[in-house]
Amino acid sequence: MLGAIIGDIAGSRFEWNNHRSKEFDLFGNDDIARDACFRTDDSVMTIAVADAIMKIGTDDEPAFKEELIDSMHKFGRADMDAGYGGHFYRWLLHKEREPYNSFGNGSAMRCAPAGWAAESLEDAIRIGRLTAEVTHNHPEGIKGAECTAAAIYLARTGSSKEEIKLYIENNYYPDAFKKSIAEIRPTYEFNETCQETVPQALVAFIESTDFEDSIKTAVSVGGDSDTLACITGAVAEAFYGIPQDIAEKALQYLEGEELEVTKKFVSRFCCYK
């Protein structure tokens, strides 16, 4: 899950100021760039999912969803300026408990813990679905989370990139890999939907050469940079692991309970092979 958070932090300074190149330092190489990076809603909601999984597990599905709603309300309302989309902001603000049929990329950006806590591929898909359903119960919203959680599970249990790619094409996005990043980049625009974010994020992972390169490739696409890099980073972490220096720098952007939950989840679930 730290891979998702790193992608979010690295992409944060480019969300409204796209950088369509892989030439940049992950967190900036000077004080101004470093300070321009911050954790956004992608990290906050990923942490909320991790906390609910650790608190109650996912076996009792209705109970897990209630816990997750509470967790998302708690972490989300602690910082209403983290960058939430309009519908989700209202859902948080009014402490709503019903889903609103969203197919926004929020379901995919927060589901990394599902891929790590799962005990099988089917379990990853099931937990991914549960994490989506509390708000993003539109079929595309569920699909984005299921596919991301499945890719993380496959990556962390030794599947090759070719196997992961085939699995995604056969089960979720048949056309995902028809275009390369170089072909996507020139015309890609800001898009908050799962179906126009998840496939592109997965192409960035497949084309990457290592963890850092995966984040830079995702940012270079443009668009919703922090969320694209968050999804790419979540899968890349499971495939490559995370270099220690990058992990340490990223943790400096978290504090309080968000930091505690992240460290606890990583030490409990995220062991790189």
Q: Which residues bind Mg ion (CB under 5 A)?
A: 40-42, 83, 226
The distance of closest approach from Cβ of residue 136 to Mg ion in the complex, given in angstroms and rounded to an integer, is 15
Q: Which of 211, 200, 259, 267 is nearest to 235 (CA)?
A: 211
CA distance 160 to 12: 29
The distance of closest approach from Cβ of residue 119 to Mg ion in the complex, given in angstroms and rounded to an integer, is 30
Q: 9 or 242, CB closer to Mg ion?
A: 9
Per DSSP (E only), the strands in the chain are: none
Q: 51 or 226, CB closer to Mg ion?
A: 226
Q: 118 or 230, CB closer to Mg ion?
A: 230
The distance of closest approach from Cβ of residue 227 to Mg ion in the complex, given in angstroms and rounded to an integer, is 5
Q: 41 or 212, CB closer to Mg ion?
A: 41
Using CB atoms, what's the residue nearest to Mg ion?
Answer: 40
Q: 131 or 159, CB closer to Mg ion?
A: 131
Q: Which of 42, 27, 61 is nearest to 231 (CA)?
A: 42
Which residues are CB-contacts of 149 (< 8 A; sequence separation ≥ 6)? 111, 112, 114, 115, 118, 124, 125, 127, 128, 131
The distance of closest approach from Cβ of residue 108 to Mg ion in the complex, given in angstroms and rounded to an integer, is 12
Residue 239: CA count within 13 A, CB half-sphere: 33
Structure tokens at 41: 């809603």
The distance of closest approach from Cβ of residue 225 to Mg ion in the complex, given in angstroms and rounded to an integer, is 9
